[in-house]
Chain A
Amino acid sequence: MYEKNGEKYFVVDGHLHYWNAAPDNWVAGQEQYAKGWIDCFYGYMGLGPPDTHWPIEKFQKYSQDDLMRDVFESGHVDVAIFQPTYLLEWYKEGFNTTERNSLMGEKHPGRFVYNTRWDPRDGDEGLKTLQRNVERFGSKGVKLYTAEWNNTSRGWKLTDPGAYRYLAACQDLGVKNIHVHKGPTIWPLDKDAFDVSDVDHAATDFPELNFIVEHVGLPRIEDFCFMAVQEPNVYAGLAVVIGGLMHARPRFFAKVMGELLFWLGEDKLLFGSDYAIWEPKWQVEGFVDWDYPDGEEFSDYPALSAAGKKKILGLNAAKLYGIEVPAEFRVPVQAGAPAAAESAKLVTEA
């Protein structure tokens, strides 16, 4: 929890990792991709405050103690949701698997939520694995990475027929939260890999599921906003928005937050640190202190109150995952509509 100016925040970190990307885990012959991936992540860490940067060796492989200290002891987080990314083509034991993440929780019950994953290209075998993982880890959510490489394939879409079988299975298994992360590749490669229109279709066809688009669809924030405003079961994961912009590009951060609050509203945004890319401490503290800069260009964006920040930092995710929040941290339920009444008007005109 975090307390500032008499306000108490229950913090759910909706997006973090416990990975091993050190050379001992690189697949022979695929070293350039394994190295390229973690170097790319390391570049993102550079967008945070300099005193939070790590040496690359620690970034490739950090300890359970590092995570517990950075996330819970100093990072203000109450409950953390693991979002696995397997990348078995490049990392021998996977980059950040459900199994590896679960090692953390055995020692720290109640602290972690284990999302698992699936890949429609794994067919019937993958469906069985999904069911096993849900039974074993109690998963209520999955993290999907559509740019994952699988043999010669460079990616997939949620609207692929194979993916619909898995979404139906999620509905049957009670896996309600579908976190979608777009990446740079897809099949076919001539299409925009970051396009979110497949999420639009899936969200319409599976109304009982929640679709949390990670990194707010970056680099397609506009497409994401125009889609999400029409789908009641679509949410935005703020990982990378806070970590990548709040310190490095504060004016762009304010504009992106303004757009998200305008199109989606404060009930649809979920905090995620993306640890170990960035530690949660500075993100939580900075976000609680955050307000729009002065200036005409920010003047008509919806305001964000302490109550709104409480929702974004934890209450929204707690609701999606059924996490019990002590009474002192809750806020009165009322909103539900997008922050700006004006936006509702614009949408009906669309």
Chain B
Amino acid sequence: MITSLSVEPTGAALAALATVRDPELDEPITSLGFVVACSVSAGGHAQVRLRLPTYFCAPNFAYLMVADAYDAVSAADGVGSAEVVLEDHFAAGAINGGVAARSGFVASFDGEAVSELHQLRADFLRKAVMAGTDQVCRPLLSAGREPAELHSLTLGELPASAALDRLRRRRAELGLAAGDDSPLVIDPRTGAAVGSEGLPLHLRRARTTRVSIEANAGICSGLLRRRYATPGLGEEDK
């Protein structure tokens, strides 16, 4: 039963989609313009349509987005069942069928994959932590701090910011320390604090990782705009 406290179901489903990220670009699929349609029927059946910048976007990341969208929407208030369809993609049949049947990546791509995508997702979360480290550290360096000084700082000593919140969330997702007393700069592979001698190189790598992800996002959004004339649902909230 839908109570008066519930968000209207389609709104709840769209809000759920805003929690789904493109693992490579580390941005919500809504603000990237990937959500074409989202509706929930009176009976609680959600229907979602997704799109990507090209016909040949990597199938493993595409699968993760469709599967995550399915899980997020299925759990939204007022949704009893869900159908998520990726459009205009070379592997749409395998992905849509596999996600609908909840059969996993290996079974969806018979003979072409050997593992599920946990490792891939973790690899890209680590990249997101590196990029996020640059987002948080660059303002400190611009304000005149030396790279080597940053090794003694903890997350709790930094001024509040959206970038800091985001970095904490990405670290937590990887199971890495994200509390106030955790070191600011850590190796995302081991979770160990980066020592002062390793900091300049680590920060340099963090910066390059951020530039790479942002440049990719720039190309993807340009391609999406060329491919589709209309904005996606939630894209204007960017």
**What is the interface of chain A, defined by CB distance below 8 A to chain B?**
32-33, 36-37, 39-40, 43-44, 46-47, 152, 154, 183-185, 187-194, 218-222, 225-226, 244-245, 248-249, 252-253, 255-256, 258-259, 262-263, 296-297, 346-347, 349-350
Known A-B contacts: A46-B225, A190-B60, A222-B127. Give 17 more (CB < 8 A).
Answer: A43-B53, A46-B223, A47-B223, A184-B56, A188-B112, A190-B106, A191-B120, A218-B215, A219-B212, A220-B212, A222-B130, A225-B208, A226-B208, A245-B219, A249-B218, A253-B215, A255-B214
A190–B208 contact, CB under 8 A?
no
A184–B114 contact, CB under 8 A?
no
A sample of 28 cross-chain residue pairs with beta-carbon separation below 8 angstroms, ordered by A number, consists of: A37-B56, A39-B55, A40-B54, A43-B223, A43-B227, A44-B223, A46-B225, A47-B219, A184-B56, A184-B59, A185-B59, A189-B109, A189-B113, A192-B60, A192-B120, A192-B123, A219-B219, A221-B215, A222-B130, A222-B205, A226-B205, A245-B215, A248-B222, A249-B215, A252-B211, A255-B211, A256-B215, A296-B142
Whether a CB of chain A sits under 8 angstroms from the CB of B117 is: yes
Docked Cα-Cα span, A190 to B219, in Å, equals: 23
Docked Cα-Cα span, A152 to B109, in Å, equals: 11
A249–B222 contact, CB under 8 A?
yes
Docked Cα-Cα span, A156 to B45, in Å, equals: 41
Whether a CB of chain A sits under 8 angstroms from the CB of B237 is: no
* Contact A47 B222, CB 8 Å, known A184-B56, A255-B215, A349-B200: yes
Beta-carbon nearest neighbor of A256 in chain B = B215
B119–A259 contact, CB under 8 A?
no
List the A side residues contacting B142 at CB < 8 Å: 296
A183–B115 contact, CB under 8 A?
no
Shortest Cβ distance from residue B77 to the other chain A in the assembled complex, whole angstroms = 33
Docked Cα-Cα span, A183 to B53, in Å, equals: 15
List the B side residues contacting A253 at CB < 8 Å: 215
List the A side residues contacting B204 at CB < 8 Å: 262, 346
List the A side residues contacting B106 at CB < 8 Å: 190
A259–B208 contact, CB under 8 A?
yes
Beta-carbon nearest neighbor of A45 in chain B = B226
A43–B114 contact, CB under 8 A?
no
**What is the interface of chain B, defined by CB distance below 8 A to chain A?**
24, 53-60, 90, 105-106, 109, 111-117, 119-120, 123, 127, 130, 138, 142, 197-198, 200-201, 204-205, 207-209, 211-212, 214-216, 218-219, 222-223, 225-227
Docked Cα-Cα span, A184 to B89, in Å, equals: 12
A32–B211 contact, CB under 8 A?
no
Shortest Cβ distance from residue B204 to the other chain A in the assembled complex, whole angstroms = 6
A183–B209 contact, CB under 8 A?
no
Beta-carbon nearest neighbor of A241 in chain B = B215
Docked Cα-Cα span, A221 to B116, in Å, equals: 25
List the B side residues contacting A249 at CB < 8 Å: 215, 218-219, 222
Shortest Cβ distance from residue B119 to the other chain A in the assembled complex, whole angstroms = 7
Beta-carbon nearest neighbor of B57 in chain A = A184
List the A side residues contacting B216 at CB < 8 Å: 218-219
Shortest Cβ distance from residue B185 to the other chain A in the assembled complex, whole angstroms = 15
Docked Cα-Cα span, A248 to B225, in Å, equals: 12
Docked Cα-Cα span, A40 to B52, in Å, equals: 11
Docked Cα-Cα span, A26 to B22, in Å, equals: 32
Docked Cα-Cα span, A219 to B22, in Å, equals: 14
List the A side residues contacting B223 at CB < 8 Å: 43-44, 46-47
Shortest Cβ distance from residue A30 to the other chain B in the assembled complex, whole angstroms = 11
A259–B218 contact, CB under 8 A?
no
Q: Across chains A and B, which 7 residue pairs bring their CB atoms closest together, nearest first?
A: A36-B55, A46-B226, A221-B212, A249-B218, A184-B58, A219-B216, A222-B212
B90–A33 contact, CB under 8 A?
yes
Docked Cα-Cα span, A176 to B54, in Å, equals: 33
List the B side residues contacting A193 at CB < 8 Å: 58, 60
List the A side residues contacting B201 at CB < 8 Å: 346-347, 349-350
B120–A190 contact, CB under 8 A?
yes
Shortest Cβ distance from residue B30 to the other chain A in the assembled complex, whole angstroms = 21
Shortest Cβ distance from residue B15 to the other chain A in the assembled complex, whole angstroms = 28
List the B side residues contacting A221 at CB < 8 Å: 208, 211-212, 215
Beta-carbon nearest neighbor of B142 in chain A = A296
Docked Cα-Cα span, A253 to B219, in Å, equals: 10
Shortest Cβ distance from residue A99 to the other chain B in the assembled complex, whole angstroms = 25
List the B side residues contacting A220 at CB < 8 Å: 212
List the A side residues contacting B53 at CB < 8 Å: 43
List the A side residues contacting B113 at CB < 8 Å: 188-190
Beta-carbon nearest neighbor of B54 in chain A = A40
B211–A46 contact, CB under 8 A?
no
A154–B112 contact, CB under 8 A?
yes
List the A side residues contacting B119 at CB < 8 Å: 190
List the B side residues contacting A350 at CB < 8 Å: 201
B211–A256 contact, CB under 8 A?
yes
Beta-carbon nearest neighbor of A350 in chain B = B201
A190–B55 contact, CB under 8 A?
no
List the B side residues contacting A226 at CB < 8 Å: 205, 208
Beta-carbon nearest neighbor of A240 in chain B = B219
Shortest Cβ distance from residue B162 to the other chain A in the assembled complex, whole angstroms = 18
Shortest Cβ distance from residue B193 to the other chain A in the assembled complex, whole angstroms = 17
Docked Cα-Cα span, A346 to B199, in Å, equals: 10
Beta-carbon nearest neighbor of B25 in chain A = A219
A189–B197 contact, CB under 8 A?
no
